[in-house]
Chain A
């Protein structure tokens, strides 16, 4: 089984202040494109071919959020992504082939077939596996941050969740504990306006998730979640706050879920006009327009980057598809230490 190259992970992390805007934009585009193409391949091809089974949840249209935020993470930081944050795995150095193998239930996936889809993590890369009921990650993020503080580490926790998560009790318990204990956490809400079929109005009576911040004595800001530069700049403020020992900071990234809850959900409950409206605000298109408008790049270079991403995806799928399924004998083992 391949292991994570920490060298390459480190190379990808910790963008210096001096990174020119054009280079920053190129990195944004690379990771956003990689997430889009990877998830398209999973949802629109491998799932339909029966090579990916079970639930498939994608973050199409939400790529700016994990990319703009996770690029601020340092090697000592720990991320707790949601199932709409695929790019966080790439930014932390998880090889693409292992992600496809994970979805295909193969050896070489991050869980070697013991779990599927986005339910994956690797503490060596500072990635806590998603807990399916996402709000449960919030107390865990508080504990991760407690450990970082306990060890006087410079690290912080990045905790991602959706709008729906904020309705659950453990979300509130975790946020409250993190604020009371002044723990270094950046809370990042992917507010994509639907929790499965329930619109935001059926989820909460306040206007914004960020409105909840002051109730906990926590700074919170609303961010255009489809503008990767806006996410990047807001995360810089949040990270600086958390890293300096001032406690948690919350970002509410407003976006829209451009799919159903999962691949089996046609999302007929979402008004078609909303999809059309939000399609115009696609974060990848907006980034490309900006890159061309500011003279940071041109169409041919951008197309070449997409081509490079597609080639990476092709190679990763081929690698994953060549990996074996787990031997049924591996059903046992590692339930407890030493097994």
Chain B
């Protein structure tokens, strides 16, 4: 039976908790209620209150407590109810967790799970993509899986990682995508991109829910004879520069795509990374399709206009192909 993206994260967490008694969950409404999105439904019944800790509403408290427990050698997985609320724990993550190893040789194994992204009519407080706030911070790892397989394999790797990891789960993917997963144990390495679709004519480099937009666009473009390669970054920090640059070198034309807003988005970093390494192999300027520089609006026509979609990608890809 196919496994949804949400179920994949749930399975990954469950397996890691079965495997390692030091892994525990902490967050708001995650125990008795099972989490706002029900990712942890059934955990407290199986693992008990000791390992599934319901807390007061306090994102700074949750992240700070996870750091304290991580310093003590436990492996906490903290849940932000929505990625948007991670701002309240920002100081703990950025000023403390990210710097402990470098400053005083104290590892902070910790995962902060953050349901992010638009397309669910969540409005400005429940739809943001805050990954770039963390990609700027040395010492953190930032993961944005797009498939059920990667979601499971990467949450397991994140739990086992010895550094603080921010794990962005795209809410619009939770129940929308599913696939058959291998029966046995598997993990996906942090820091490795994957080729979601191989192609020769141009590369779309993206991550998260936009991988599906890119694949939809690629199918449509294939009918026009444009052979698109789709690179799924999977991890934003550390960035898999080799896979990005290899793809750019191979197709010589690059379209960068993200759901995050435009200015200082991941596209900027990717563009300079490609330019620094394989500029002489490019046949066209690097282009980008992103959300505009506005808050994420609520009303369906506004949100639709805000989010990148296949039509916007196809239009830009045609231009790039003709260049």
B95, A142: Cβ atoms under 8 Å?
no
- Distance of A169 Cα from B60 Cα, bound (Å): 9
Residues of A within 8 A of B103 (CB): 111, 114-115, 119, 129
B74, A170: Cβ atoms under 8 Å?
no
Residues of A within 8 A of B95 (CB): 131-133, 136
Let me know if A52 is at the binding interface, CB within 8 A. no
Q: Which of B24, B60, B138 has the most CB of A within 10 A?
A: B60
Residues of A within 8 A of B141 (CB): 336
Choose the segment among A25-33, A66-74, A146-154, A227-235 that binds chain B (4+ C-beta atoms closer than 8 Å): A146-154
Choose the segment among A85-93, A176-184, A288-296, A307-315 that binds chain B (4+ C-beta atoms closer than 8 Å): A176-184
Let me know if A122 is at the binding interface, CB within 8 A. yes
- Contact of A128 with B71 at beta-carbon distance under 8 Å, contacts A119-B103, A139-B63, A177-B61 already known: yes
Which B positions have Cβ atoms within 8 angstroms of A? Answer: 24, 26, 50, 53, 55-56, 58, 60-74, 76, 88, 91-92, 95-96, 100-107, 138-139, 141, 161-163, 238
- Contact of A123 with B106 at beta-carbon distance under 8 Å, contacts A144-B71, A150-B24 already known: yes
Residues of B within 8 A of A144 (CB): 68-69, 71-72
Which A positions have Cβ atoms within 8 angstroms of B? Answer: 78, 110-111, 114-115, 119-123, 128-129, 131-133, 136, 138-148, 150-151, 157, 169-170, 173-174, 176-177, 180-181, 334-337
Residues of B within 8 A of A148 (CB): 72
- Contact of A177 with B56 at beta-carbon distance under 8 Å, contacts A78-B72, A131-B96, A141-B68 already known: yes
Residues of A within 8 A of B56 (CB): 173, 176-177, 180
Q: How far is the CB of B23 from chain A (nearest CB, A)?
A: 11
A147, B163: Cβ atoms under 8 Å?
no
- Distance of A13 Cα from B242 Cα, bound (Å): 53
A140, B101: Cβ atoms under 8 Å?
no
A337, B162: Cβ atoms under 8 Å?
yes
Residues of B within 8 A of A173 (CB): 56, 58, 60-61, 64
- Distance of A145 Cα from B71 Cα, bound (Å): 11
Closest to A110 in B: B104
B72, A147: Cβ atoms under 8 Å?
yes
Closest to A169 in B: B60
B102, A335: Cβ atoms under 8 Å?
yes
A334, B91: Cβ atoms under 8 Å?
no
Residues of A within 8 A of B55 (CB): 177, 180-181
B64, A337: Cβ atoms under 8 Å?
no
